Structure 1
Amino acid sequence: MASPNPPSSWTTLVLDAWHEHRIAIFVSALATVALFRLYSSLRRLLYQETKSIDSLSAKPKLDAPFLSAESEKNPAAKTAVSRLDPSEVDIERISRSVKQSAPNPSAGKAKAGPKRIAGKKPQISPSRRPGKQNGRVATDIHEGDFDVQVLIFYSSLTGSTAQYAKDLKESLFSATEGPYPKLSIETPSNGLPAAPISRNFLPAQLYNLEEIELDDYFISPPKAEEDVKGVKYIYLVVTPSYETDSPVAPFLEHLQETHHDFRIDTAPLRSLAGFSVFGFGDSSEWPSSEGKFCQDAINVDKWLGKLTGGRSGSRRLFPLGMGDMNPSGEGPGADESFKEWRIHLEEAMREYAETGSLGGSPESRTAVESGDEDSELEDEDAEAEDVVDLEDISGMIPKKTSRKDDSTGTVKPAPLPIDFTTPAGKLALAAGEGQAEHRKEMVPKDGVTYSALTKQGYTIVGSHSGVKICRWTKSALRGRGSCYKFSFYGIRSHLCMETTPSLSCSNKCVFCWRHGTNPVGTTWRWKVDAPDVIFRGVVEGHYRKIKMLKGVPGVRADRFAEAFRIRHCALSLVGEPIFYPYINEFLALLHGSKISSFLVCNAQHPAQLRALGPVTQLYVSIDASNRDSLKRIDRPLHRDFWERFQECMDIIREKRDVQRTVFRLTLVKGFNVEDEVQGYADLVERALPNFVEVKGVTYCGTSTAADAGLTMGNVPFYEEVADFVVRLDKELTRRGLEYGIAAEHAHSCCILIASKRFHVNGKWHTLIDYEKFFKLLEEGREFSPVEYIGEANPEWALFGNGGFNPEDERVYRKGKGPKAVAAGGACGAGEEESGGCG
């Protein structure tokens, strides 16, 4: 009989079974534990839910005396009261609870997602806030009555920027000089003392960006308690620029993180009164051409623009200022630039204190930080389509032969029509007939013409004059280049004022970019404003237009300050400036203020052209070389338009030795390009102008142009304009006329042909010595245009080099890069030039 297994064998069997099934045992154990925990959790949740339901189902009632009228109306209050023991009810506490817990029917359901900070910080006691002034901090409650607090922030590595910031704190509103130059007659801006500050400016405070808590100032402005007077804050930031170890780097990082933080409002600093930035750099280390000069200040200005409004309109009080610490730099030094920035900044702060706003429109303050240039195409309203020229409706209105005297009831004969441009009209003007009550205004303020022109950006001055900011002025203020006048004649666009003393014209050109909204006529029968009234009005209107651009991103503070020193006046814009009866008196006011003049006429008023006094440069628009083409393109109103045109050619020849005379040829493909080189050469040979400007037409896209058959197909490519100029130059040379191609500005699609009298020592000298011109005027004698020839044209302006100033930055629109331009583009397909008829 076999004996049972020994104990050692049982142990071996157990160990073998363990090793064979241990994984299954572990899995089973874990599953059992998991099931047990799940069962326990479900029982606990079921118990809590049952308990909650039981507690909610029990509703003991209170006696009626303890239910107030408010709780009867409010179910939430009723529930709160029902859970109290009647002996423990506190009526006042229940009332407070009702007010706090009452549902708001107008409040919508809260959106799901992370909490957003809307630029509001927890209330900090005034005694603990570093930026307090007499216990008062900023508030937006008292909009009509507030003080202004200037906070100056700086960052400094060597201490020089800190000293500039301290000097700024001490010198604010201490200067006696203003931003406006003296002119020949006083205007409200340049002739009157600075207006007293109408609001209280609290003493400026100075903060080192490295020593303060940035969140206290740059996530939201300081706030005020409800029982104190409001304070509006202005932030001034003064920074240096360093390529490495910049002290501004942490500040820039904070601004950037604040902007990109999804928990913070996109514009947490929008309640600021305004901000402005000034940066110091060294041009010897970072030339402006490399784009790194004052780079830190540029970035601070950009991020503050985004944090104060971004595309909805930033709070930029004054453009970014930059100072060059290089003592051998070409431009003004840091001290001069800083002083100029401070003077204009004070003017902007005075304006804010007076009006409570930054000025300008929200659109002008939009922070377009990309490289795209602002479009100049303006939307046309339906009202603009309804505008009818005065000449067109003259036959539709019954002519009045008499008028009724309201005082006596008798009928008096109507006043005889007077053309104030004739000798008899001049006598009538001297007798005061130009301001007679029965004379109508050319552009009445309640008329459709006034409405249409103001919508296009004009400022109407008096009853017949206007001023407008050119597209190139905006471009020059941003350092993006000037128009052809700078390449040809040395005129910087931000120093140029474009105006006209007469909005009326004698032509209705098919390519006119004024949309056919200006009045037209062959005689002047309207009221006549005095020249000093027009001068004051256009200067002030120009100043207002410039001020509206101070919040535009990219505007350079130095050029913005220079823009108030008007150095040139382009009398073109719209209408016929020579038509104004007091044109010579108006020119004298310009020249007396050291403002040069370019006057454009349409060769339809020979009497006024012959009587014209000295101008810096006299233009004649030549849009066709023969009678039929001129009638088809310019659509003149005079029946003897061709005879007038030819007489003006002879007058231009008479004036060529006493004035700089210019032909302005506007090329319209299909109208005056293909077969008119011979005809244009005939006109040049007849008038012998000093210069011939050839420009491709700019398509305006209006219904007027469409009705005349003008489309984008009529806009020549720049290569076609250049080819036309080369052919015209060869034809002039073949005839023995001494002309040559002097300069170009491809961006304006414009090329200049000049007389060889301006080709001196092998170089073209089409630039103008403006100081010499004014000295010659003061001598009171006739002088030749060669007496105020300027320096030689720069290399970049000569024909074949493009004509774009390398000191500026060329910015291309999307899809219009250098390759597209090199391949050729239509003159009107890119940026539109907002120039006048000439």
Structure 2
Amino acid sequence: MLTDSSFIGLLAFWHSYRLLFLVALSTVFLGLRFYRILQSRTKTTASSSIPPSPRSQSPEKTDKGTSLKSSNPATTQKAERQLPLANGPAKGTSGPKRVTGKKPSKVTGRQGQTEDAEPLSFIQPIIFFASLTGTTERYAKILFEELRAAAQKRADLQDRERGLLPPQIHDLSYIDLDDYFTSAPKPPPNSPGTRYVYCLLIPTYNIDSILNTVLDHLNETHNDFRIDTGSLSSLAGYSVFGLGDKEGWPTEEEGFCSQAKELDKWMAKLTRRKRAYPLGLGDVKSDAESSLKEWSQGLQDILFDILENGGLGEGVPGSGDPVESDEEVDDEDVDKSNAQNVMDLEDIKFGGDQNAAGSPIPVDFTTTGKSSSGQPTEKEMVPKTSPTYAALTKQGYTIVGSHSGVKICRWTKSALRGRGSCYKFSFYGIRSHLCMEATPSLSCSNKCIFCWRHGTNPVGTTWRWKVDSPELIFEGVKEGHYKKIKMMRGVPGVRAERFAEAMRIRHCALSLVGEPIFYPHINEFLDMLHGERISSFLVCNAQHPDQLEALHRVTQLYVSIDASNRESLRKIDRPLHRDFWERFQRCLDILREKRHVQRTVFRLTLVKGFNVDDEVIGYANLVEKALPCFVEIKGVTFCGTSTSAGAGLTMQNVPFYEEVAQFVTALDAELQRRGLKYGIAAEHAHSCCVLIASERFHVNGKWHTRIDYDRFFELLEKEKADGTSFTPEDYMRETEDWALWGNGGFDPNDKRVYTKGKKKNMQITVEP
């Protein structure tokens, strides 16, 4: 009964207050719903205002690429909770997004080791030097012997797992800079604890040399966004010793050892402040040897300290900085300062009174960088006071103006004495005693391993020197050539009739040294040659396609093809341009376009061990691409100097004539297999040279590789007069029988004299 009365009471209570209860419940539900919607909108707005960095969401890497894994389990769990991509969708928080940052910690310090690096066990010193006159090379060899002796003296026979290794030595002119100065060499697999120390002996020149190329390379490497700014930080250290002449530059401010100081600055940046020993300076005319000895002793002490301590240590604040604290600010700071001084475009008033009060100062947007007080003076490529000038004149060159040269070829001397002309006479009809060998540009963009100059000529990728007029060069090279011919008049054996003929230049081989096409006024110079009916044989290295495309007509256009693929070309020519292969390919395309206008020639220089083995197919590909008129295949000539060994070239790299002939036969067979119409036309065994010619020059069953020079100038004058074009076939001439393939190629009107071997002092006259 009690239960029934309680139920009736609750039911009465529900009927009395049900409306109020339902209204309250609905209000609470709607409030919660509205709150959730509002919270969702707030989160969306906050998260979309600043998009998160993909790097920050990556579960794999932190700021410096280190793994998030930790040996501490608590830390690991905390990291996993903080990784939104690892555990599902990110959970946003209400309110604006907070962006926090911290200064990234350095991966390596002056200790030179990362956390994962092998402990340092061996130090490998590498000596780098540059030398035009041989002085710095001599000092580099002294340092080499001292470090080698120190390594032997301090060798621990009991502990073969640690120590100082014998040094290596490299001439900067003969290395690929990318191998050593874009990234540090990797330790050998059998000794992962080996660390390298660079010892750089750097002279300073007031002319362009390989040092300019090295400094430009370091600058580009440091400022290349694709390369780590500290790409050499894996080195154990470095040190620089500068050599200079205080008579020419009394102080550092005036240029004494300035290039050594600049190189020291770039090395400090690229190694992240790993200067192992202070910059040393020596005057070549006073204290160079004693200063070098003192610097060398200090360097040796540091090398053993590195071995003992496993690195350089931290040092005091400022240790290893690129420049002294009181020196002028870095270029980056100057750029920032300049950026702050640039006026906002919105503040510039266009039109109206520009001189009114409060008007902004007009901004010259054509001027960038540092302001200069005056027009910079152009430097000479080869000043008379430079070591380059002295080295080239010592080699027999006559320097014309500031960047041109002329020299008597050994074949000119031979022809004057009736002992034979070079292969150009056999192939093209050029008598060597009528030929002038010259160049309007001593600078080159390659450092070929077989170059006879071996770093004594300037190098560069752009023309940045004073430009001499073509008139000055033309008159200068003729005068220099005639002077050298006159000096031959007293040489025993010179024929009077040939001496008289030699006083009239008929041919000019623009192949002496450097890159003739590099000269800005090469077309005007060619016009002057042709104006005096001097034929032009121009050689280029396929590194300047724009200049090649703009080249006017020449009698014959050579392109040096020293390798069939990118890697071989890099090793043999050692080009300065980083896009050397693309430039090379462009030049081949240009040659193909010009093949019916110019007599085009591929010149293949065979270097045994570099570009001979298994490269026939590669060369055939290049011939098929450019379709030249002729292909010259010549064995490299060893110059026999001590510096050539520094380029990795010895007599072992000089192929025998039989090997050249075998290569030519294989190349001809490959061209025939591809259906390309070429054949072996002529040879000059004395020059170790063979000529493959296009069948365009095979007429009526006979080869016509020679040139009718009188006909060439007639056609050229007619072209200039009325625009009538002509082709290489229009001025070809039949090849002499004695020059054809299989006949040796020696002129029967001359006497061959053997100066070496068993036939020494024997004269042979070849009967016609």
Q: TM-score, normalised by structure 1?
A: 0.47
Q: Specify the SS of the correspondent of 1:810.
A: strand
1:821–1:689 distance in 2 versus 1, CA, 3 Å: farther
Map 1:307-706 → 2, pairs under 5 A: 382=134, 390-393=209-212, 395=215, 396=259, 438-706=377-645
CA shift for structure 1 position 468: 0.1
Map 1:194-233 → 2, pairs under 5 A: none
4+ aligned runs moved over 3 Å, structure 1? 380-389, 396-400, 818-822
Is 1:800 paired with 2:739? no
Is 1:728 paired with 2:667? yes
Give, in whole Å, the separation in 1 of the partners of 2:763 and 2:608.
Answer: 19
Give, in whole Å, the separation in 2 of the partners of 1:454 and 1:696.
Answer: 27
Q: RCO higher in 1 or 2 (8 Å CA, sep ≥ 6)?
A: 1
**Does structure 2 conserve the Cα–Cα contact (< 8 Å) formed by 1:616 and 1:659?**
yes
Cα displacement string for residues 215-274 of structure 1 (whole angstroms, at most 9, x for unaligned residues):
xxxxxxxxxxxxxxxxxxxxxxxxxxxxxxxxxxxxxxxxxxxxxxxxxxxxxxxxxxxx
CA shift for structure 1 position 795: 1.2
Give, in whole Å, the separation in 2 of the partners of 1:714 and 1:800.
Answer: 25
Q: Specify the SS of the correspondent of 2:396.
A: coil
Corresponding residue number in structure 2 for 1:786: 729
Gaps of 5+ in 2: 1-131, 139-202, 216-258, 264-330, 332-374
1:561–1:686 distance in 2 versus 1, CA, 3 Å: same
**Does structure 2 conserve the Cα–Cα contact (< 8 Å) formed by 1:506 and 1:521?**
yes
Q: Specify the SS of the correspondent of 1:553.
A: coil
Give, in whole Å, the separation in 1 of the partners of 2:654 and 2:696.
Answer: 33
Give, in whole Å, the separation in 2 of the partners of 1:753 and 1:747.
Answer: 17
CA shift for structure 1 position 392: 2.3
Q: Specify the SS of the correspondent of 1:733.
A: helix
Give, in whole Å, the separation in 2 of the partners of 1:385 and 1:769.
Answer: 49
Give, in whole Å, the separation in 2 of the partners of 1:463 and 1:759.
Answer: 44
Map 1:63-462 → 2, pairs under 5 A: 382=134, 390-393=209-212, 395=215, 396=259, 438-462=377-401
Q: Specify the SS of the correspondent of 2:751.
A: coil
1:679–1:739 distance in 2 versus 1, CA, 3 Å: same
Q: Which amino acid aligns with 2:633?
A: V
Give, in whole Å, the separation in 1 of the partners of 2:641 and 2:421.
Answer: 26
Cα displacement string for residues 604-660 of structure 1 (whole angstroms, at most 9, x for unaligned residues):
000000000000000000000000000000000000000000000000000100010
CA shift for structure 1 position 820: 12
1:544–1:820 distance in 2 versus 1, CA, 3 Å: closer
CA shift for structure 1 position 700: 1.5
**Does structure 2 conserve the Cα–Cα contact (< 8 Å) formed by 1:384 and 1:452?**
no
Give, in whole Å, the separation in 1 of the partners of 2:649 and 2:434.
Answer: 34
Cα displacement string for residues 93-152 of structure 1 (whole angstroms, at most 9, x for unaligned residues):
xxxxxxxxxxxxxxxxxxxxxxxxxxxxxxxxxxxxxxxxxxxxxxxxxxxxxxxxxxxx
Is 1:755 paired with 2:698? no
Give, in whole Å, the separation in 1 of the partners of 2:607 and 2:436.
Answer: 27
**Does structure 2 conserve the Cα–Cα contact (< 8 Å) formed by 1:383 and 1:452?**
no
**Does structure 2 conserve the Cα–Cα contact (< 8 Å) formed by 1:739 and 1:755?**
yes
Give, in whole Å, the separation in 1 of the partners of 2:260 and 2:625.
Answer: 43
Cα displacement string for residues 364-399 of structure 1 (whole angstroms, at most 9, x for unaligned residues):
xxxxxxxxxxxxxxxx97459589861324523678
**Does structure 2 conserve the Cα–Cα contact (< 8 Å) formed by 1:462 and 1:529?**
yes
Corresponding residue number in structure 2 for 1:811: 753
1:821–1:729 distance in 2 versus 1, CA, 3 Å: farther
Q: Which amino acid aligns with 2:743?
A: N
Q: Which amino acid aligns with 2:660?
A: V
Q: Which amino acid aligns with 1:783?
A: F
**Does structure 1 conserve the Cα–Cα contact (< 8 Å) formed by 2:751 and 2:763?**
no
1:437–1:458 distance in 2 versus 1, CA, 3 Å: farther
Q: Which amino acid aligns with 1:485?
A: K
Instruction: Provide the aligned length of Structure 1 versus Structure 2.
Output: 408
Q: Which amino acid aligns with 1:808?
A: D
Is 1:710 paired with 2:529? no
**Does structure 2 conserve the Cα–Cα contact (< 8 Å) formed by 1:506 and 1:636?**
yes
1:719–1:456 distance in 2 versus 1, CA, 3 Å: same
Corresponding residue number in structure 2 for 1:62: none
Q: Which amino acid aligns with 2:670?
A: E
Q: Specify the SS of the correspondent of 1:443.
A: coil
**Does structure 2 conserve the Cα–Cα contact (< 8 Å) formed by 1:505 and 1:575?**
yes
Q: Which amino acid aligns with 1:664?
A: R
Corresponding residue number in structure 2 for 1:188: none
Q: Specify the SS of the correspondent of 2:537.
A: strand
**Does structure 1 conserve the Cα–Cα contact (< 8 Å) formed by 2:598 and 2:727?**
yes
Cα displacement string for residues 763-816 of structure 1 (whole angstroms, at most 9, x for unaligned residues):
0010101111111111123211001111x2111101111100010000001425
Give, in whole Å, the separation in 1 of the partners of 2:762 and 2:692.
Answer: 26
Q: Specify the SS of the correspondent of 1:507.
A: coil
Give, in whole Å, the separation in 1 of the partners of 2:400 and 2:260.
Answer: 27
**Does structure 1 conserve the Cα–Cα contact (< 8 Å) formed by 2:210 and 2:455?**
no
1:557–1:740 distance in 2 versus 1, CA, 3 Å: same
1:785–1:440 distance in 2 versus 1, CA, 3 Å: same
Give, in whole Å, the separation in 2 of the partners of 1:718 and 1:490.
Answer: 22
**Does structure 2 conserve the Cα–Cα contact (< 8 Å) formed by 1:458 and 1:466?**
yes
Report the identity percentage: 75
Gaps of 5+ in 1: 1-379, 401-412, 414-435, 823-838
1:755–1:820 distance in 2 versus 1, CA, 3 Å: farther
**Does structure 2 conserve the Cα–Cα contact (< 8 Å) formed by 1:484 and 1:748?**
yes
1:646–1:746 distance in 2 versus 1, CA, 3 Å: same
Q: CA RMSD in A?
A: 2.3
**Does structure 2 conserve the Cα–Cα contact (< 8 Å) formed by 1:732 and 1:738?**
yes
Give, in whole Å, the separation in 1 of the partners of 2:523 and 2:419.
Answer: 35
Give, in whole Å, the separation in 1 of the partners of 2:467 and 2:646.
Answer: 33
Give, in whole Å, the separation in 2 of the partners of 1:821 and 1:512.
Answer: 31
1:606–1:816 distance in 2 versus 1, CA, 3 Å: farther
Give, in whole Å, the separation in 1 of the partners of 2:656 and 2:752.
Answer: 20
CA shift for structure 1 position 711: 1.0
CA shift for structure 1 position 569: 0.1
Corresponding residue number in structure 1 for 2:364: none
Give, in whole Å, the separation in 2 of the partners of 1:397 and 1:480.
Answer: 50
CA shift for structure 1 position 679: 0.1
Give, in whole Å, the separation in 1 of the partners of 2:743 and 2:763.
Answer: 13
1:385–1:662 distance in 2 versus 1, CA, 3 Å: farther
Q: Which amino acid aligns with 2:593?
A: E
Give, in whole Å, the separation in 2 of the partners of 1:783 and 1:795.
Answer: 27
